[in-house]
Amino acid sequence: MDIATHVFSAFYQFGDAFAFLVLSACGLAVIFGMMGVINLAHGEFIMCGAYVTAATVHAGLPLPLGILAGTIVSALVGVLVELAVIRHLYDRPLDTIVATWGLSLIATQGTLIMVGSTMAGVGTPFGSFQVGDYSYSIYRIVLFCAALGVLAALYALFNWTRFGVLARATIQVPHMAAALGVDTRLIYSLTFACGAGLAGLAGGLYAPTMTLVPTMGATFIMEAFVTVVIGGADVFLGTAPAGGVLAVVKSAMTSWQGQLFGQIGLLVAVIIVVRVLPKGISGFVLRERT
Amino acid sequence: MTGLLAMFRRLEGPQTVGRGPAFWGLFALVLAVALAYPLFSDGYTVGNTVYFFVWVFIALSLCLIWGYGGSLSFGQTAFFGIAGYSYGILTINFGSGYGFTLLALVMAVAIAALFAVLLGYFMFFGRIAGVFLGIVTLAVTLMLERFMAQTAGPEWHIGAARLNGFNGMSAMPPLTIPWPGEPIVLFADVGLYYLVLGLLAFVYLALRILMNSSFGNVIVAIRENPERAEMLGYDVRKYQLITFVIGAALAGLSGVLYTVWGQYITPSSMGMTAAALPLIWVAVGGRSDLTSTVIGTLVVLAAFQALTIYGSQYALVFMGVLLVLTVLIAPNGLVLGAMNWLGRIASRLTQRAG
């Protein structure tokens, strides 16, 4: 095996880790960055997206439409949750964590009761290709592109659309935005729906690659939280670079010692980074800029 | 002598609900009933009560860190698990002779506390606060669970103790008190009951004293406004770290007692669900008061067990609903609310009488 295949393999691993971190974290990061709310039911929104995707694919729809359906259903559930619970807790961030944890318990256990302990999965599309002695899944490349696509779409959404401008205004000075006629409650609802929808999208995208069980959200949330903690409150200055840094750590540790050590590496990285940069990467970058 | 008296005067104060002869009379009555209870019951029920008591320690630890200290920690179950596993590893390796199990209990709690010092240093001296603290502690807990769950192979052992992966460790010796002639083995019935009850009463009273002392007042001041506490000259980080370590030791005690009670410990005792349950007890009871936490924990545990008989699947959903509703409707906790209400009625009655 020559150097080129090694390099390709390393890049592939990195891309895979990057896609997983960014896709699972961006929904959480949007909600946290815009609203200061940590959504502990994030994993369950991902689960919801994956389940809806699998169900629609079983019903005969093609996979992309299934993923779209998963995204939309998650976003709708997000609106309901925001209206019923989150809305009443904006001035109590710690209580939001507790309440969303309660929701996560309800969702996990409720799914277990209603759907059963497992659901038939969806086959991974596109097959694989060969580089050197190893074969690689094309779908993982698609996931990587999807992660980049999501970041680009979020950038466009928050910078170039009216909703994005209003949302950022609401986040900066809520009272001022409200005084200028922005319906801040609606903005908060939509932002939460956006985050929930992104979680659903992550679930839909990863549905073909994993077994669908009610506790599958737990496989995402640790990575998602770690990325958001390291990244800080800003999606572009935080989540994306944090995803990049952590992907290097994770893929290196994983190929060295296996899956578990990849995760331990993430945890150690997060503890060290928060000791050095308490506000995450984006806090650091923004401080340098001002 | 006066120092001791001053200490006992701290049993009641601004940070704890309940004062005066009425409260302490009730406390003595409850304690007397608890002491006499095994005489009127069978071994199984007493053992089950021990199981309830074991969880009160972890609830108290969360009450201390979250309710009084204002830092939401999801990591209590991590300390619970670390101490439980440590006890198992120590006793399986060194046996139960010469009162070693008691030493192992202390050592296991110390190991959990040491881990808390390490983790707490990075968190509090990195000034992680609020929601981030919750996330980091949660990540640590989940990581530990995953780590222990994959230790199934025979290569994962410490001395003679196999870690056994997802099935967990079992068959560690119960607590044994060395006694001339025959050592007293505390199986999960009357013997362990009195030990745990004694520890519980001790910890409860000690925490009351601690919280009403100047240390406790500083902790509450930090919860109310960290900047102000810092301006007044207190090293916020140090106080938070000490609280965190005390809490971790209590959670560790809970873990050791749990391991001793059932003679097993599994990785799922550190999982998401296990981490959520203490939060529910404390939130429903009333996180900012010790007495409410104890009562709330026992009541919710009893309700949970009763529900489990009719359908364990629905019990967890019910717990989730209970948690969400408590946070939305009675953020200070149901038991605390009820106790404050009773207190107001009592004071109104005494005013009318006087």
A59 confidence band (pLDDT: 50, 70, 90): confident
Residue type, B226: P
- Residue listed under structure tokens 């119960």: B174
| Cβ <8 Å between B317 and A94 | no
| Cβ <8 Å between B327 and A94 | no
Residue among B126, B143, B279 minimizing CB distance to A275: B126
Give yes or no: residues B171 and B280 share one domain: no
B1 confidence band (pLDDT: 50, 70, 90): low
Give yes or no: residues B201 and B292 share one domain: no
| 3-state SS, residue A277 | coil
Instruction: Determine how many CB atoms are found less than 10 A away from the CB of residue A229.
Output: 24
| C-alpha torsion angle, residues B48, B199, B173, B166 (rounded to 10) | 60
| Cβ <8 Å between B283 and A98 | yes
- Name which of B119, B101, B92 is nearest B251 in CA terms: B119
**Domains in chain B, number:** 2
The residue of chain A with its CA nearest to that of B72 is A94
Give yes or no: residues B192 and B301 share one domain: no
CB-based contact (8 Å) between B272 and chain A? yes
| Cβ <8 Å between A228 and B135 | yes
Given B215, B246, B269, the domain boundary residue is: B269
Residue among B132, B138, B320 minimizing CB distance to A103: B320
CB-based contact (8 Å) between B251 and chain A? no
Classify the C-alpha dihedral B66-B70-B71-B72 as positive or negative. positive
- Residue listed under structure tokens 């997060």: A270
| C-alpha torsion angle, residues A178, A182, A186, A191 (rounded to 10) | -100
Give yes or no: residues B262 and B324 share one domain: no
CB-based contact (8 Å) between A255 and chain B? no
Cα distance from B353 to chain A (closest Cα, Å)? 41
Q: Is residue B132 domain-resident?
A: yes
Residue among A36, A103, A105 minimizing CB distance to B316: A105
Q: Is residue B31 domain-resident?
A: no
Rounded CA gap, B352 and B350, in Å? 5
| Cβ <8 Å between B324 and A85 | yes
Cα distance from B80 to chain A (closest Cα, Å)? 19
Above 80 in pLDDT, residue B352?
Answer: no
> Which pTM was predicted?
0.85
Write the CA distances from B292 to A236, B71, B123, B155, B334, integer angstroms: 44, 19, 28, 46, 8
Q: Choose the mutation target among A226, A271, A282 for the interface with B, i.e. most B CBs under 10 Å.
A: A271
CB-based contact (8 Å) between A64 and chain B? no
Residue among A106, A108, A274 minimizing CB distance to B136: A274
- Residue listed under structure tokens 């100047």: B214
| Cβ <8 Å between A226 and B323 | no
| Cβ <8 Å between A38 and B134 | yes
CB-based contact (8 Å) between B327 and chain A? yes
Above 60 in pLDDT, residue B259?
Answer: yes
Q: Note the pLDDT of residue A1.
A: 57
Rounded CA gap, B42 and B1, in Å? 43
Q: Is residue B21 domain-resident?
A: no
Cα distance from B343 to chain A (closest Cα, Å)? 26
Burial status of residue A221 (CB atoms within 10 A of its CB: 0-12, 13-18, 19 or more): buried
A3-282: CATH class = mainly alpha
Given B269, B290, B324, the domain boundary residue is: B269
Residue among A36, A95, A274 minimizing CB distance to B128: A274
Q: Note the pLDDT of residue B12.
A: 79
Above 70 in pLDDT, residue B148?
Answer: yes
Give yes or no: residues B192 and B119 share one domain: yes
Residue type, A226: V
Given B246, B269, B292, the domain boundary residue is: B269
Q: Is residue B22 domain-resident?
A: no
Query: Which of A13-17, A231-235, B74-78, B285-289 has the weakest average pLDDT?
Result: A231-235
Residue among A99, A263, A274 minimizing CB distance to B327: A99
- Name which of A80, A94, A85, A91 is nearest A38 in CA terms: A94
Residues of A in contact with B143 (CB under 8 A): 222, 263-264, 267
How much of chain B exceeds pLDDT 90, in percent?
A: 19
Q: Note the pLDDT of residue A286.
A: 67
B25 confidence band (pLDDT: 50, 70, 90): confident
Q: What range defines the domain where residue B261 resides?
A: 41-269
Compute the half-sphere exposure of residue A198: CA atoms within 13 Å on the CB side of its CA: 29
- Residue listed under structure tokens 């959504």: A39
> Beta strands A134-137 and B176-177: pairing type?
unpaired
Write the CA distances from B91 to B169, B189, B261, integer angstroms: 12, 20, 14
Q: Note the pLDDT of residue A288.
A: 54
Give yes or no: residues B310 and B338 share one domain: yes
Give yes or no: residues B79 and B204 share one domain: yes
Give yes or no: residues B335 and B197 share one domain: no
B201 confidence band (pLDDT: 50, 70, 90): very high
| 3-state SS, residue A221 | helix
Q: Choose the mutation target among B62, B132, B144 for the interface with A, i.e. most A CBs under 10 Å.
A: B132
Give yes or no: residues B190 and B312 share one domain: no
A278 confidence band (pLDDT: 50, 70, 90): low
Residue among A36, A112, A278 minimizing CB distance to B313: A112
Give yes or no: residues B197 and B258 share one domain: yes
CB-based contact (8 Å) between A218 and chain B? yes
A290 confidence band (pLDDT: 50, 70, 90): very low
Give yes or no: residues B252 and B342 share one domain: no
| Cβ <8 Å between B320 and A218 | no
| 3-state SS, residue A147 | helix
Above 50 in pLDDT, residue B231?
Answer: yes
The mean per-residue pLDDT over the stretch A113-135 comes to 75
Residue among A36, A101, A109 minimizing CB distance to B317: A109
The mean per-residue pLDDT over the stretch B109-117 comes to 93
Give yes or no: residues B103 and B76 share one domain: yes
The mean per-residue pLDDT over the stretch B231-255 comes to 92
Q: Note the pLDDT of residue B115.
A: 92
Q: Note the pLDDT of residue A197.
A: 92
Above 90 in pLDDT, residue B111?
Answer: yes
How much of chain A exceeds pLDDT 70, in percent?
A: 94
Burial status of residue A240 (CB atoms within 10 A of its CB: 0-12, 13-18, 19 or more): buried
Residue among B150, B279, B324 minimizing CB distance to A260: B150
Residues of B in contact with A110 (CB under 8 A): 317
Above 90 in pLDDT, residue A8?
Answer: no
CB-based contact (8 Å) between A62 and chain B? no
Provide the mean pLDDT of chain B. Answer: 84
Q: Note the pLDDT of residue A251.
A: 79
Do residues A66 and A54 lie in contact, with contact meaning Cβ atoms separated by under 8 Å? yes
Residue among B119, B139, B317 minimizing CB distance to A110: B317
Do residues A240 and A285 lie in contact, with contact meaning Cβ atoms separated by under 8 Å? no
Q: Note the pLDDT of residue B243.
A: 93
The mean per-residue pLDDT over the stretch B88-106 comes to 82
Q: Note the pLDDT of residue A275.
A: 72
Residues of B in contact with A260 (CB under 8 A): 146-147, 150
- Name which of A50, A28, A61 is nearest A209 in CA terms: A50
Beta bridge partners of A135: A130
Q: Choose the mutation target among B151, B223, B324 for the interface with A, i.e. most A CBs under 10 Å.
A: B324
CB-based contact (8 Å) between A268 and chain B? no
| Cβ <8 Å between A105 and B136 | no
| Cβ <8 Å between A38 and B320 | no
More confident residue, B60 or B334: B60
Residues of B in contact with A95 (CB under 8 A): 327, 331
Q: Note the pLDDT of residue A73.
A: 93
Rounded CA gap, A186 and A192, in Å? 10
